Amino acid sequence: MKRPRTCPTAGHVTCPPDALSRAEVAARDMGLELCVLLLVLGGLPLQVTSAARSFSIDYTKNCFLKDGVPFRYISGSVHYFRIPPGYWKDRLLKMYMSGLNAVQVYVPWNYHEPLPGVYNFAGDRDLEGFLDLVAQLGLLVILRPGPYICAEWEMGGLPFWLLTQPDIVLRTTDPDFLQAVDKWLGVLLPKIKPRLYHNGGNIISVQVENEYGSYYACDYDYLRHLLHVFRTYLGEEILLFTTDGLKDPELRCGTIQGLYATVDFGPGVNMTQAFELQRLYEPRGPLVNSEYYTGWLDYWGEPHSTSSAEEVAQGLQKMLEMGANVNMYLFQGGTNFGYWSGADYKKIYNPVTTSYDYDAPLSEAGDPTAKVYAIRAVIGKFQELPAGPMPPPTPKFAYGYVSLPQRVNLLDILGLLSPAEPIHTPFPLTFEVMNQAHGFVLYRTLLPHDVLEPALLSVPNNGVHDLAYILLNGQYKGTLERDKVNGVKMTGRAGDILDFLVENMGRINFGANASDFKGLIHNVTLDSTTLKDWFIYPLAIDSAVAHAWPPVLSTSRGTTGPAFYTGTFKTPGINWDSYVKLPGWTKGQLWINGFNLGRFWPARGSQQTLFVPGLLLNSSAPNTITVLELQAAPEEPIVLFLDRPLFNRTRSSDTNDID
């Protein structure tokens, strides 16, 4: 009689009868026989051989060792900065009930140091509170503190204020960059050290930088510097690692001695071939996929990405049969509230949508999808699952139509939005020079002469970063858009007021080698004339909406150009999650009770609704909705609350990372 093959790392649960043979075939050429045997055969009760806690690599048996015992993690990525804190525990509990034994967590530098030397670890930025919740559920942590994280997050997690030094070279040994990095890590890493596994915490490994091999610089001295800093603050015991894609140049430039090299790839690749690439840089040690893609991100103007639950589950099973350690990116994506979404640069500028649903196992609202159950079934073949049911979805409610009757032109409340005196300068300045992190800046000048025949108003050399809404004497004339619309024709009279309302759509987080400055980054021309003598108004819209809203003004008329629309509604005594749709609106920003839900752009899609966490709603008093429409509002300004999200186009994602 055959004895059941069991996984000693997670409760001696029977594995698939053919798992050993398939794993042996796939892994033999990579020196993984011992690791697969230890992870798949097992069957005897395991005892920790030492009282000391430890997490390390066994290079002989090609395994992780946790307290001296072979260990394999099955992890999922979750972003505390994309989820309201009141929902953190719900999302983590669902991850635990899915069978995961670890979570992977990014730390965005710019979220915690908004200005030099100003640190924020409170409220929705309470990293330690989030890690406490993870520990309460018995989950381990794979921490990714950067300093660069990508994550489709504004500037890849690097703070905008680095660019106040225009010649800085990011992610290199540039002295100014290293000085800022060292100060930041000197604040962050001491918070992390007591939480390391060998110090009694639950952090088993820490990533240094992120996908550095995809960056042009290939500065090994930079990686060595980071390695030294991490070791100085965290000590010699903690496992430090890197993550890179499946191209040899990426692995070559992204790895150095002293950092364990891991790879990332999705279900559409030859997994044996993928891990063979890891073996070129780590001949011995555990196989690790640090980002197994369960879905993909969305860009404005492109279809919503989807992927098959069956394909994701099959890929996971294949890797587990090979004895690999897997982190699923993402397990829940969440939302790019406010202005936090980033952008990729793939020949042109591609901003990321507000929704970071990612077609992940847990939806943007944290609800279990078919992928959760498919993944859970696979994990159950390899390790014991927690007893009990999966927590249900959070309740949703369609609050219906809400009218927004109060309209105020943005230009009519310029003093409220920009209370300081405007900056007077001969030529336009960037956001960074003015210390404007996000949002909008208004640039104003006067036409220097009559323009009786249509003349081309433009910002040469693709100088609008990222959109500019053009107004002449308060009348909307059109929009310039980075990489897409370079100029508009216009006429006017000498002395007419010309305004450029410039929107930052998110600094590039991946794909570009140059710093992504925002605003009017080159001079403005009207045919052959360079326009001079500018008054610049940095706008603090969020502060005004949160503290001085609605403004006491009579309602203005019209539907075109930048304007605010405000209305209120009451719920039927509940504060359930919802989704808000903007029928007939074009592009802008939306706030509920002063909280910035993010950008909407239904005219471009594919995202048609914004997620509304119920925690933002008041169940016993009116709720205030404020919409900033930048181009054209509907004749009847209303919004519609639904109980489900809407996308107007979808596509299956292709995350094949091997050419």
Cα–Cα dist 171/517, whole Å: 16
Let me know: does 48 contact 8? Beta carbons within 8 Å.
no
Buried b (16+ CB within 10 A) or exposed e, 6-39: bbbbbebbebbeebbebbbebbeebbbebbbbbb
Q: Please, what is the angle between helix 19-27 and helix 309-321, to 10°?
A: 80
Cα–Cα dist 537/442, whole Å: 5
**113 assigned to active site:** no
Tokens standing for residue 184: 């930041």
Q: How far is CA 424 from the centre of its chain?
A: 36
Let me know: does 391 contact 97? Beta carbons within 8 Å.
yes
Cα–Cα dist 484/477, whole Å: 17
Q: Please tell me which residue in 113, 152, 211, 321 is annotated as part of the active site.
A: 211
SS3 352: strand
Q: Over the Cα atoms of the chain, what is R_g?
A: 26
Residue 514 neighbours by CB under 8 Å, 6+ apart: none
Note if the bond before 393 is cis, omega within 30 degrees.
no
CA-wise closest residue to 207 among 177, 239, 235? 239
Q: Which residues pair with 592 in a beta bridge?
A: 595, 625
Q: Which residues pair with 221 in a beta bridge?
A: none
DSSP state of 412: G
Burial status of residue 175 (CB atoms within 10 A of its CB: 0-12, 13-18, 19 or more): exposed
Tokens standing for residue 232: 């100085």
Provide the Cα torsion 180, 186, 191, 194; round to 10°.
Answer: 140
Q: Which residues pair with 650 in a beta bridge?
A: 304
Number of H helices, E strands in the chain: 13, 37
The DSSP-derived string for 81-105 is GGS-GGGHHHHHHHHHHTT-SEEEE
**276 assigned to active site:** no
Cα–Cα dist 291/269, whole Å: 13
Cα–Cα dist 611/609, whole Å: 7
CA-to-CA dists, residue 639 to 245, 365, 563, 612, 648, angstroms: 42, 20, 15, 13, 17
Q: Please tell me which residue in 113, 154, 282, 291 is annotated as part of the active site.
A: 291
SS3 567: strand
Buried b (16+ CB within 10 A) or exposed e, 445-460: bbbbeebeeebebbbe
Residue 463 exposure: Cα atoms within 13 Å on the Cβ side: 17
CA-wise closest residue to 290 among 282, 302, 298, 301? 282
Q: Which secondary structure element, helix H or strand E, spans residue 265, and what is its range? A: strand 260-265
CA-wise closest residue to 100 among 439, 481, 378? 378
Give the number of other Cβ atoms within 10 Å of residue 423's Cβ.
16
Catalytic (active-site) positions: 211, 291
